[in-house]
Amino acid sequence: MPDRLLEVRALDAHYGDFQALFGVTMGVTEGEVVAVIGANGAGKSTLLKSIAGAMRSRRDAIFFAGEPVGHLPAHDMVARGIALVPEGRRLFPSLTVEENLLIGGQLGRPGPWTLKRVYELFPILAERRQQIAPSLSGGQQQMVAIARALMSNPKLLLCDEISLGLAPIVIRDIYARIPTIVAEGLSLVIVEQDIVQALKTAKHVYCLQEGRVALEGEAGSLTREKISAAYFGV
């Protein structure tokens, strides 16, 4: 059985007095694709931010490669091998495609992902490498955001709403790259509102509803009816 790479244990998260997560527990094994689904405001993005170190939590609320890391800031999480593709892409608008990608590799973690390798994964980015990032289409910008995260050579890649606002053909194109990414030894957590896409892509699914895990299980064993009921809290 593959080793457990990530463990989230009874994670709470707050924005001031507002509590966004209530005792969330989940896990990701090495080489696994996990989907976290739920409606807007369910706590999906907060969960990823907590795992990535953008929001601090209890030291023992998050374990990565067997080590407690819940107290660590984001730059330490990246150094350990966790990379986040944030909702909205968050590219550096004054920089070119290639400059954005090079920033992702600043820590120099060893691994398979280089400029050459990410250009092979997304050939259109090689063609547009000298363009300013905001001049690209939405789908191409999303590719830059994913490639920038891969340049840090993570063990765990967190993708927050990578299909949001994109045309279906672009979404299919991006998701078609996931098997290649995982084949390089990565584990993947995808936050997704699209239930069908989540079930197609992930091995394991967690459904959040109002900051709590309402349903979880192997993707192949969950019916759309069960997921819909948990998704909408009915």
Q: Show the 3-state SS of the chain.
A: CCCEEEEEEEEEEEECCEEEEEEEEEEEECCCEEEEECCCCCCHHHHHHHHHCCCCCCHHHEEECCEECCCCCHHHHHHHCEEEECCCCCCCCCCEHHHHHHHHCCCCCCCCCCHHHHHHHCHHHHHCCCCEHHHCCHHHHHHHHHHHHHCCCCCEEEEECCCCCCCHHHHHHHHCCHHHHHHCCCEEEEEECCHHHHHHHCCEEEEEECCEEEEEEEHHHCCHHHHHHHHHCC
pLDDT at 163: 85
pLDDT at 47: 97
| Domain formed by 4-84+154-232, architecture | 3-Layer(aba) Sandwich (3.40)
Q: For every one of its 234 residues, what pLDDT tens digit does the chain have, with 9 covering 90 and above?
A: 467 899 999 999 999 999 999 999 999 999 999 999 988 889 999 999 999 999 989 999 999 999 999 999 999 999 999 999 988 778 888 999 999 999 999 888 899 999 999 999 999 999 999 999 999 999 999 999 999 999 999 999 999 988 888 888 888 899 999 999 999 999 999 998 777 887 888 999 999 999 999 999 998 887 777 777 776 765
> From the CB of residue 30, how many other CB atoms can be counted at a distance below 10 Å?
16
- Is residue 214 within 8 A of residue 208, CB to CB? The reply is yes
Q: For residue 29, give the nearest of 210, 202, 199 by alpha carbon.
A: 202
- Is residue 231 within 8 A of residue 37, CB to CB? The reply is yes
Please state the pTM of the whole predicted model: 0.92
pLDDT at 33: 95
